[in-house]
Amino acid sequence: MTRSDIIDLRSDTVTRPNEGMRQAMAAAPVGDDVWDDDPTVKALESRVSDLLGKEAGLFLPSGTQSNLCAVLTHCGRGDEALVGEHYHVYTDEARGTSVLGGVSLHPIAQEDDGSLRPDLIRAAIKPDDYHCPVTALLCLENTHWGQVISLQHCLDMASVARANHLSVHLDGARLANAALELQSSLEGACHFADTVSFCLSKGLGAPLGSVLTGPKAFIARARRLRKMLGGGMRQIGIVAAAGHYALDHHLPTLVDDHRRARRLSEGLVNTDQLSVLRSRTQTNMVFVSLPLGGYAHFQDHLKRKHILISGDDDCVRLVCHHDLRDDDITSVITAINQWSGE
Q: Which residue, 177, 191, 192, 214, is CA-closest to 48?
A: 214
Catalogue the E-assigned strands of 195-326: 195-199, 210-214, 275-276, 285-289, 307-308, 310-311, 316-319
Instruction: Answer yes or no: do 33 and 178 share one domain.
Output: yes
Instruction: Answer yes or no: do 132 and 204 share one domain.
Output: yes
Contacts of 217 (CB under 8 A, 6+ apart): none
Instruction: Answer yes or no: do 202 and 302 share one domain.
Output: no
Average pLDDT of span 155-160: 98
Out of 246, 271, 300, pick the residue that ends a domain: 246
pLDDT tens digits for 247-280? Answer: 999 999 999 999 999 999 999 988 888 899 876 6
Instruction: Answer yes or no: do 110 and 177 share one domain.
Output: yes
Instruction: Answer yes or no: do 332 and 190 share one domain.
Output: no
- The CATH number of whichever domain residue 276 belongs to comes to 3.90.1150.10
Query: What DSSP string runs through 226-247?
Result: HHHTT---SSTHHHHHHHHHII
d(CA 145, CA 283): 9
Q: Does residue 143 have a cis peptide bond before it, meaning omega lies within 30 degrees of 0?
A: yes
Whether the model pTM is above 0.75: yes
Instruction: Answer yes or no: do 232 and 257 share one domain.
Output: no
- The DSSP 8-state label assigned to residue 306 in this structure reads T
Q: Which amino acid is at 198?
A: F
pLDDT tens digits for 282-335? Answer: 999 999 999 888 899 999 999 999 999 999 888 899 999 999 999 999 999 999
Instruction: Answer yes or no: do 186 and 91 share one domain.
Output: yes
Domains: count for the chain: 2
Total H helices, total E strands in the chain: 14, 13
d(CA 307, CA 226): 38
Instruction: Answer yes or no: do 259 and 239 share one domain.
Output: no
d(CA 155, CA 121): 13
Out of 187, 218, 246, pick the residue that ends a domain: 246
Instruction: Answer yes or no: do 297 and 316 share one domain.
Output: yes
- Supply the pLDDT for residue 279: 60
Instruction: Answer yes or no: do 169 and 148 share one domain.
Output: yes
Domain that holds residue 263: 3-14+253-341
- CB neighbour burial string for 264-302, b if at least 16 within 10 angstroms, e if fewer: bbebbeebeebebbbeebbbbbbbbbbeeebbeebbebb
pLDDT tens digits for 214-246? Answer: 999 999 999 999 999 999 999 999 999 999 999
